Amino acid sequence: MLKKIILIAAIFCLPLSIWAKPATAVKNIVASSQDLAYIAARVGGRHVTVKSLTSGDEDQHYVEARPSMVMALKNADVFVRIGMELDMWADALMIAAKNDKIMRGGSGEIDASANIEKLQVPSGKIDMSMGDIHAFGNPHYWLDPQNAGVIAKTIAARLSEIDSANAQDYNANAKAFGEETAAKLRVWQKRLEPYAGYKIVVYHDSWPYFAKRFNLIIAGHIEPKPGIPPSPSHIASLIDMMRREKVKAILCETYFNGKTTGSLSEKTGVGVASAPLSVGGVRGADTYERLMDYIVARLEEAFKK
């Protein structure tokens, strides 16, 4: 009996670390886009592994669901989504994954748009005749480099709640990324400063955040309404407008038809800047900084033409 008492006492005197459940240092993060995956990796640093459900050259409006996406979400601790209805395709995948942590409102779901100052929020009734209109505003907010720092802070805040032991690292990483991006933004603004106030035509309505940040005016769209292909009559009226308004460049997503923009350029003498919307959309644009470098460089070339 005495031996049993001594044994029990010895067990209770063991270090607390023996009893404590080990903390998970590495969080498995899945993002709906390469941009968010890159920023999440910068914020999470050595504590996370990150995977994007989509590649940088995909149109987020038309993502094809794949079984590998379900498996990725099933094993995710955190899901970072674009939000604002752009990645609604992920909802069915999350249901199939049966992972409560990352469902809407779950502890592991991060809506990267949460703290963004949103543009083009529609008022009044919305219907299909208006084209691909997003009820919560234009969702291409990551194309404003200032918003990249906001996204990083949003991710850091949630990771800190989930993994408080490493909160200091998450917040420091987000701060460092925000400062680096702010410094690069000043360089990009300086490069595009000679073209402030220039009018441009865009293909899809992907560029309002970018245009606002760099003081460019979007004078027209190749799509008559978001998601609606242009008709010959629309292209003809667009050519007239571009000549009349002295439009200086055409800014087009890389995955859209180059024949249309090429024809517009030929008939108006206006240069075309073909650029990806996301990290990894073209070779060399494998970081957020290099993505923005690429877009700025293509615009400079188009303006000089």
Whether residues 73 and 108 share a domain: the answer is: yes
How confident is the model at residue 127, as a pLDDT? 63
Does a structural domain hold residue 109? yes
Judge whether 258 and 274 are in contact, CB under 8 Å: yes
How confident is the model at residue 130, as a pLDDT? 59
Does a structural domain hold residue 18? no
Q: Which of 166, 183, 200 is the last residue of a domain?
A: 183
Whether residues 55 and 197 share a domain: the answer is: no
Range of the domain at 140: 27-115+129-183
Which residues of the chain register pLDDT less than 70? 1-26, 126-133
Whether residues 174 and 208 share a domain: the answer is: no
How confident is the model at residue 131, as a pLDDT? 58
Whether residues 40 and 146 share a domain: the answer is: yes
Whether residues 269 and 143 share a domain: the answer is: no
- Which of 74, 75, 81 minimizes the C-alpha distance to 39? 81
Judge whether 140 and 202 are in contact, CB under 8 Å: no
Whether residues 269 and 287 share a domain: the answer is: yes
Whether residues 98 and 152 share a domain: the answer is: yes
DSSP one-letter code for 228 = P
Q: Which of 158, 183, 208 is the last residue of a domain?
A: 183
DSSP one-letter code for 304 = H
How confident is the model at residue 226, as a pLDDT? 87
Residues 6+ apart with CB under 8 A from 78: 27, 28, 29, 30, 40, 101, 102, 108, 109, 110, 158, 159, 162
- Convert the pLDDT of each residue in 244-275 to its tens digit: 999 999 999 999 878 999 999 999 999 999 99
- In a 10 Å sphere around its CB, with 0-12 CB exposed, 13-18 middle and 19+ buried, how is residue 181 labelled? buried
Count up the domains in the chain and report the number. 2
Whether residues 104 and 244 share a domain: the answer is: no
- Convert the pLDDT of each residue in 36-89 to its tens digit: 999 999 999 999 999 999 999 999 998 998 999 999 999 999 999 999 999 999
Does a structural domain hold residue 1? no
CATH at residue 162: 3.40.50.1980
Judge whether 114 and 101 are in contact, CB under 8 Å: no
Q: How far is 46 from 42, CA to CA, in rounded Å?
A: 9
Whether residues 38 and 162 share a domain: the answer is: yes
Judge whether 203 and 258 are in contact, CB under 8 Å: no
